Chain A
Amino acid sequence: MTNIFTAPAIAIDGLHHSYGANPVLRGLDLTVQRGEIYALLGGNGAGKSTTLSALLGFLRPCSGSVRVCGTDPVADARAARSQMAYVPENVSLYEHLTARENIGYFLALAKAERGGDAIEAALSAVGLTQAAKDKRLSGFSKGMRQKVAIALALARDVPVLLLDEPTSGLDPRAVLEFNRLLDAAREREVAVLMVTHDLVSAVDIADRIGFLSEGKIEEEQTASTAGPRFDLNALHDRYTLVAGAPA
């Protein structure tokens, strides 16, 4: 029995997964410790979202093991999910509820009732104006919706954050603010697994960066404690090679 306090927050070991005849993950190993921010990069269709699905217990792995705080998310989905907050790609909440009502509703669903203060704080943290907090989402831009979803994840106050392209739709200033939120999360010993296309932002905030290709982590770099955190040039070459996309 793994101890919930000593086990890594995220531990993926030799994970294989195929959709029908399409093998997507082929022996993926990935570990994220508490207080660590891991940026997962990769081309379209590399299997980044699939990796998050495996962590959320949405998929039954063909082989290999997946643990979240020592819990198997397939065998005990509820326990695993109570440790994780997830911001899906292109997420949206209820259009006809206000930002505040949305957070309250989803927290209730997650059995994580927080006081109005916590909701207020989370909405302020993501940079929503006082007026916007009580507006219906139907008038929100993509970036503002993204912020509400992030606020929800923060308000959950759980040890593991899974973020799928969280900065898409955010303007550059909002990305900076978002990075500060991640900093704060790291301070609270939260483990963050963030799927992103944004190499610059990843370099700025991540403790480790991994490239997913051919169903495994092709290359992984850890931030150095002295000098520049990452070798941006090397990463850029790697990124264009793997992702086939400009940074």
Chain B
Amino acid sequence: MNHSHSLWRAEASLLLRSNRNVLALILLLVLSAASVWSGIVQVQDQRATIERVEREQVRDLAAVEEANAGPEGEAGYNAYYAFMLTQDPPPPLAFAAIGQRDLQPYVLRVRALGLQSQLYDSETYNPELALPGVFDWAFVLIYLLPLVVIALGHDLVTAEREGGRLRLLLSLPGNGLWRRRVGLRYTAVLLAIGLPLIIGAMIMAAPAVSIATMILIAALYSAFWFGLAMLIGGATRASTTAAATMIGCWIILTLILPTLAQAVIARAVPVAKGVDLTLAQREVVHHGWDVPKEETFARFFVNHPEWRGQEEFEGRFHWKWYYAMHQVGDEAVAADVSAYRDSLKKRETMTKLLGYVLPGVGTMNVLHRMADTDIQGQLAYQDSIAAFHTKLRQFYYPYFFEEQAFDHSDFAMIPRYEPRSSGGTPPTEALAALAFLSLLVLALGSRRLLNAGREQGGR
């Protein structure tokens, strides 16, 4: 016990005497800390934005109420001018894996007009597999940690052979040398990537279990790269060859294959742009002005039969017709909307499958699902907006169809949006696939390393 303790200490001081290793570890620590810090800043920015918009919202609503609500107030004007705030506050783990939140709206103000013309206002769908985008902890883990593992682990055996020490090391009666060396480097890498995350989690009051799971994911992903380093380091004669091969693997596994796969998926599953849905919906609405009103109502009543028989009005314009027309516009593009969502989901499914074989993609999928910052999270926010929009319309319809006045007490009753409860759980299948892949490569690498050390006495 005491002896093995001193062996670990000796090994640690040997590791820390090497400038290259120390530099690589410090770099990882600094990058990890910087990414956590930048993630926290982004999350706090988003929170501040939400708070600011919430304050503006109070002011804006007061102005709308002032101008439109009252004993003579018309629901139509109130519904037209009262934009209602929806917001998607950053989930607890978003600071570590920002994902889609970088690009997707997290505040959106909607009114009772057609939803599809409002939903994609600031949209640019980021394909889940986008190459290095945001600088967050997940990015440092997935793209940069492997380079540090390569620096620390590619020449475990070759450097000893080149340094003229391998045969001497192998001639000693002790055992567990490689296990200690790999174990030590592995621990050091995990500390460098993990400590900033833990501190960030404490600042952000993120749930401890989730952070532990993220560390576990980092441990699995690092195990994959250490396994690969041992596999390649054990199969090559020269350190430079090993390093070059490892860098090649890094480029292929984290850059080329994901990019190619992304292109293939994009081609296999075309996705319309949300803005196309907006345009289609507006087209229908514009056209609606020229369509006979009976026709618009007939289409509206298909899904809102409760208002049948109350469509008559005098004059050329009436709010009930106007809002029915908008709703009909939404319904006209419903098939396109569901096709659009289906293909997004299909892409995500394919990305998920890809993650089963590419550990970087798998790790990203798991982290973003846990943080609830992936497309699924984005769609969930849209769903909650849609549900709210329905509630909003249902609230106004009696006022339109029964021609009730819209007084201040009515204004106070306009439904408010309740943020969805965000935060995901780790997808077990993907986590299991990552664990399987990583532990397999680790086992193969360990075997290879031991054999490489033993083969022909290290010549």
User: Are chains A and B native binding partners rather than an unrelated pairing?
Assistant: yes
Chain A residues proximal to chain B, CB less than 8 Å: 19, 53, 56, 58-59, 77-79, 81-82, 84, 86-88, 90-97, 104-106, 108-113, 149
Query: Do A53 and B17 form a contact, CB below 8 Å, given A92-B163, A109-B169, A110-B173?
Result: no
- Beyond A58-B456, A82-B173, 15 additional pairs, beta carbon < 8 A: A56-B170, A58-B170, A58-B457, A58-B458, A59-B457, A77-B173, A78-B173, A81-B171, A87-B168, A91-B168, A93-B165, A105-B10, A109-B177, A110-B172, A112-B173
Min Cβ gap B103→A in Å is 47
Q: Are B169 and A86 in contact (CB under 8 A)?
A: no
Chain A contacts for B174, CB-based, 8 A: 108-111
Contact partner of A90 among B19, B164, B175, CB < 8 A? B164
Distance, CA A63 to CA B167, complexed state (A): 23
Residue of chain A at shortest CB distance from B455: A58
Distance, CA A105 to CA B15, complexed state (A): 12
Chain B contacts for A82, CB-based, 8 A: 173
B14 at the interface (CB under 8 A from A): yes
Q: Are A88 and B14 in contact (CB under 8 A)?
A: no
Contact partner of A88 among B6, B10, B164, B173, CB < 8 A? B164
Chain B contacts for A91, CB-based, 8 A: 164-165, 167-168
Q: Are B175 and A78 in contact (CB under 8 A)?
A: yes
Min Cβ gap B5→A in Å is 11
* Closest 8 A/B residue pairs (Cβ): A58-B457, A92-B164, A82-B173, A81-B173, A86-B171, A88-B167, A110-B172, A53-B457
Main secondary structure of the interface of B (DSSP, over half): helix
Chain A contacts for B63, CB-based, 8 A: none
Residue of chain A at shortest CB distance from B177: A109
B55 at the interface (CB under 8 A from A): no
Min Cβ gap B70→A in Å is 84
Chain A contacts for B163, CB-based, 8 A: 92, 94-95
Q: Are A109 and B171 in contact (CB under 8 A)?
A: no
Query: Do A97 and B14 form a contact, CB below 8 Å, given A53-B457, A108-B6, A109-B174?
Result: yes
Residue of chain B at shortest CB distance from A149: B168
Q: Residues 154-166 of chain B: 1 if any A CB is under 8 Å from the residue's CB, otherwise 0?
A: 0000000001110
Pairs A–B under 8 Å by Cβ, sample size 24: A53-B456, A53-B457, A58-B170, A59-B457, A78-B175, A81-B173, A82-B173, A86-B168, A88-B168, A91-B164, A91-B168, A93-B168, A94-B17, A96-B18, A96-B19, A97-B14, A97-B17, A105-B10, A105-B14, A106-B168, A108-B7, A109-B169, A109-B177, A110-B172
Q: Are B17 and A96 in contact (CB under 8 A)?
A: yes
Query: Which of B10, B173, B175 lies at the interface centre, i.e. has the most chain A CB atoms within 10 A of its CB?
Result: B173
Min Cβ gap B183→A in Å is 15
Q: Are B3 and A113 in contact (CB under 8 A)?
A: yes
Min Cβ gap A118→B in Å is 16
Chain A contacts for B165, CB-based, 8 A: 91-94
Min Cβ gap A114→B in Å is 13
Chain A contacts for B6, CB-based, 8 A: 108, 113
Residue of chain B at shortest CB distance from A83: B173
Min Cβ gap A12→B in Å is 16
- Name B114-169 residues within 8 Å CB distance of A: 163-165, 167-169
- Name B213-233 residues within 8 Å CB distance of A: none
Min Cβ gap B150→A in Å is 20
Query: Which of A53, A97, A112 lies at the interface centre, i.e. has the most chain B CB atoms within 10 A of its CB?
Result: A53
Query: Which of B3, B174, B456 lies at the interface centre, i.e. has the most chain A CB atoms within 10 A of its CB?
Result: B174
Distance, CA A217 to CA B171, complexed state (A): 24
Query: Do A111 and B18 form a contact, CB below 8 Å, given A58-B457, A88-B167, A92-B164?
Result: no
Q: Are B14 and A56 in contact (CB under 8 A)?
A: no
Distance, CA A79 to CA B270, complexed state (A): 67
Chain A contacts for B173, CB-based, 8 A: 77-79, 81-82, 110-112
Min Cβ gap A49→B in Å is 9
- Name B66-111 residues within 8 Å CB distance of A: none
Distance, CA A4 to CA B328, complexed state (A): 98
Q: Are A59 and B456 in contact (CB under 8 A)?
A: yes
Chain B contacts for A56, CB-based, 8 A: 170-171, 457
Chain B contacts for A110, CB-based, 8 A: 172-174
Chain A contacts for B170, CB-based, 8 A: 56, 58
Chain B contacts for A77, CB-based, 8 A: 173
Min Cβ gap A24→B in Å is 12
Query: Do A84 and B168 form a contact, CB below 8 Å, given A53-B457, A108-B10?
Result: no
Distance, CA A122 to CA B24, complexed state (A): 36
Chain B contacts for A84, CB-based, 8 A: 171
Min Cβ gap A48→B in Å is 13
Residue of chain B at shortest CB distance from A56: B171
- Name B424-459 residues within 8 Å CB distance of A: 454, 456-458
Distance, CA A106 to CA B164, complexed state (A): 14
Q: Are B3 and A111 in contact (CB under 8 A)?
A: yes
- Name B156-205 residues within 8 Å CB distance of A: 163-165, 167-175, 177
Q: Are A109 and B167 in contact (CB under 8 A)?
A: no
Distance, CA A95 to CA B6, complexed state (A): 21
Distance, CA A91 to CA B175, complexed state (A): 20
Distance, CA A90 to CA B166, complexed state (A): 11
Chain A contacts for B171, CB-based, 8 A: 56, 81, 84, 86, 88
Min Cβ gap B58→A in Å is 65
Chain A contacts for B10, CB-based, 8 A: 104-105, 108-109
Distance, CA A104 to CA B17, complexed state (A): 15
Residue of chain B at shortest CB distance from A111: B174
Q: Are A86 and B3 in contact (CB under 8 A)?
A: no
Q: Residues 1-28 of chain B: 1 if any A CB is under 8 Å from the residue's CB, otherwise 0?
A: 0010011001000100111000000000
Chain A contacts for B17, CB-based, 8 A: 94, 96-97
